[in-house]
Amino acid sequence: MTISMFQASVPAFIRSLNNLAAILEKGAAHAQARKIDEAVLLGSRLFPDMFPLVRQVQLVSDTAKSGAGRLAGVGFPAYEDKEATFQDLIQRLRNTVSYLETLRPAQIDGGEDRTISWQSRSSTKSMQALPYLMNHVLPNVHFHVTTAYAILRHNGVEIGKKDFLGP
């Protein structure tokens, strides 16, 4: 049995984003129950030189939609990065999932050797599609979901491995 690039990407991204949305809902409930200003949690970081929670979630969204869009050879939505509440972040994740749900296996599968190019902060990068997915996109999605989870857990939100893995 083989796994396709579509199976390794879009469904995995959707699952991660939906699980992160559920984790953020628990973060919002935690803030409300303990009368913590949401901005405090959204601005929390694991270490001073790391991005805060709000940016971690934005990066998960950006990486999933741009990665899948590039693999499919189609455009992807741009978001303004103006989220200021848990609900804003949850809506961003839902919007990203809605976009991902428009992609079909035929758009991605069979393009393993296609060259993917993108602009990083400092340069233009290029890779073949399969290594791009396996060595760049998937690890980045998982890194930012894990970091968002860790920020909330570090701040006392009662979440565990089952929340990260989802149903």
Please report the pLDDT score of residue 111 as a whole number.
93
CATH number at residue 29: 1.20.120.450
pLDDT digits (tens, 9 = 90+) for 106-121: 999 999 999 999 998 8
Query: In sequence order, what are the residues at sequence separation of 6 or more whose Cβ sits closer than 8 angstroms to the Cβ of residue 40?
Result: 31
For the chain, what is the domain count?
A: 1
| pLDDT averaged per 10 residues in sequence order, the chain, 167 residues | 93 98 98 97 97 98 98 97 98 98 97 94 94 98 98 98 95
- Among 1, 53, 21, smallest CA distance to 164 is for 21
Residue 48 to residue 120: CA distance in whole angstroms: 22
> Residue type at 109?
D
Answer whether 151's CB lies under 8 Å from 44's CB: yes
pTM over the 0.85 mark: yes
CB atoms within 10 A of CB 50: 13
pLDDT digits (tens, 9 = 90+) for 24-56: 999 999 999 999 999 999 999 999 999 999 999
Domain, as residue range, for 68 = 5-165
Residue 107 to residue 129: CA distance in whole angstroms: 12
